[in-house]
Each structure stands twice: as C-alpha cells, then as structure tokens.
Amino acid sequence: MSTTTRLLNLLSLLQTQRDWPGSLLAERLEISDRTVRRDIERLREMGYRIEATMGPDGGYRLAAGAELPPLLFDDAQVIAVAIALQTASVVGADLDEPAARALSTIRQVMPSRLRRRLDALAIVAVAQRPGGPAPTAVPLELLVELARAIRDRVLLRFDYAPRQQPAPDGFGPPRRVEPHHLVNAQGHWYLLAWDIEREDWRLFSVERITPRTPTGPHFPQRDVPGGDVEEFVSARFKGSQTNKWACQGSVILDLPIEAALPFIGDGTAREAGPSRTILESGSWSWGSLAASFGRFEVPMEVIGPPELRDAFATLAHRYRATATT
C-alpha cells in the first residue's frame, strides 16, 4: 500500500485501542517493525501525539495533544456525530451555530455514499418538559431507514407496537403514512407523519415502529400547520394547537428563588421578596398544574386564575380522602 494509505490505516488502529504493541501493529499492517517506527515519527510530525509504552515488545498510545489533529471516523461514527450535532440545540448550551459549522465541515469532506445518508438525516430537536420517561435507544439503521423514506418522499408502511399488551392478532393492520420529519425530544425519537387513514398529523414513537417492505409510491410535499415543525411538535406535546400549555397559572412560593430555579422546568420565576418566589407555569389540565406546584412542598399562595384555585381545592379533598382510607 502507499505511504498515505498506510499512515491512515495506522492512525485508524491507534484510534480504536489505547495501547498497541509495535509487533501487533506491524502484523496488522503487514509491514516491518522498522516501518512502524518510521510511520509513527511521520504521524508525530503531523501533530499527532503518540506516546511510547513500556512492555516486553514496546508499543504506542495515541494521546491528547496541544491541538486537535485530523480525525478518522468509520461510517457509524459519522452518522452518530451528525445526529449529535443536529440535536445539540436542546442540551441547554448555545451550540446552534458552532454545531451547524461542524456539521458542514464534516459533510464537505465525507464520501458521497455517506453524504447521501447524512442528507437524509434531517432531524428536528425539541426541548421537552423534564420529568418524562427515560430515553430508550433505537437502532441506528431504523433511523436511517425512516430518514431515507422522508428524503425520498415515499409512502411508509409499518407495524406499530401497542404500549401495553399486544393486540389479539398481533400489531393489527399496518399503518400507512407520509413521513415528513424525524424528531428528537429529550432522548426520545418520534416520526412526524401524515396518517393516511386518519387524515391527520401524527407523532409516532420510533421505538414502536417496525417498517414493512416495500415502501409505497411517492407523495407530494405537505406542509405542517403553521409551517414551523418545531413549533407544531412542541404544541402537540403540550396537547394544544399552539406552542402554549392549555392551562397556565401562577403561585407565590414561600421559597427563595435560588432554591426554586433548579426545579421550575419550562416555567418562569421571579423574586417576590427575600425568601418568596413568583412561579408561572403551565400544563395540559388544571389538576396536573396544581399537582406540579405541589412538588415544592412549601406553603404557597395562588395568584390565579380561579380555575387553578379550584383545582387545588379538588386535590386537597382527594388527598384528604386518601389519607383517611
């Protein structure tokens, strides 16, 4: 093999395992120990910090350097990095612009076969209210398959597993949808699609999807209501037509604001005094909103609206009855 190819293969090996005996590197690359030493020196001159390790055979370790040298990724690593960069906006840091630049840099140098897969992975990342179920891993190839159907605009057929017990006849008839977007919300993957039978937009949990083959015919582009996918999906998570909770209210907590802030979720808080906090929040029902305020376990005063005060009264009656049974 050429010197360049040999160096790239050597670098790839060094990136996959911390310590490599020199003799094993020579065996894997089918070269002499002397050539291994010479190639190690070439990589060091290129900025890679490669340390010599002690042992019977001696060896090498790729260590962190003062600057980030060029890296090698296999196919799965490229797709993993692409997914991570596209979902960087929901981790709570201002990473949108640098993540977009990094993704553009990776795309520019990748082979065409990977670029096509990457271009299919157009992901919408949505910040969801904390406290939901723990994230569930889904197979990478399933995400790629769904992304390919979205890119090609082909009708998708899949079995959709029930949340609890399977139906008597298995999954039931397959769902037929026009797939439009992959959505990641707090580690959970969803497929936003137009459901043919129900004639409406639906969010499908990807972990419950088992695609059927072949795919169906092509379909024309269909815009989500309002034209903004993130706004539309966020509204669906809130159970409303707009990206606002159906029920919104506020209370005064007998709690310093610094103690309340870590637990306010998607609410807003402001000081109401030395040890009091005004908290505004929302939920899909007045009862669930009142219950969410109760998680602070401190005395509080309802600011409004009246529906929230009534919900507290209903919960108090229910809890009192539960405590006496």
pTM above 0.75, yes or no: no
Q: Is the pLDDT of residue 166 over 50?
A: yes
Query: What is residue 179's predicted lDDT score, i.e. its pLDDT?
Result: 94
Q: What is the mean pLDDT of residues 292-321?
A: 92
Q: Which residue has the higher pLDDT, 79 or 165?
A: 79
Residue with tokens 């959970």: 188
99 in Cβ contact with 89 (< 8 Å): yes
Q: Is the pLDDT of residue 76 over 60?
A: yes
Angle of the 140-152 helix axis to the 75-86 helix axis, nearest 10: 70
Q: What is the mean pLDDT of residues 96-118?
A: 77
Give the bridge partners for 211, in sequence order. 158
Largest CA distance in the chain: 83
Q: Is the pLDDT of residue 169 over 60?
A: no
The torsion defined by the Cα of 231, 232, 236 and 242, in degrees rounded to 10, comes to: 70
Spatial CA neighbour of 156 closest among 80, 86, 218, 216: 216
Q: Is the pLDDT of residue 94 over 60?
A: no
Cα(266)–Cα(245) distance, integer angstroms: 10
How big is the chain by its Cα radius of gyration, in Å?
Answer: 27
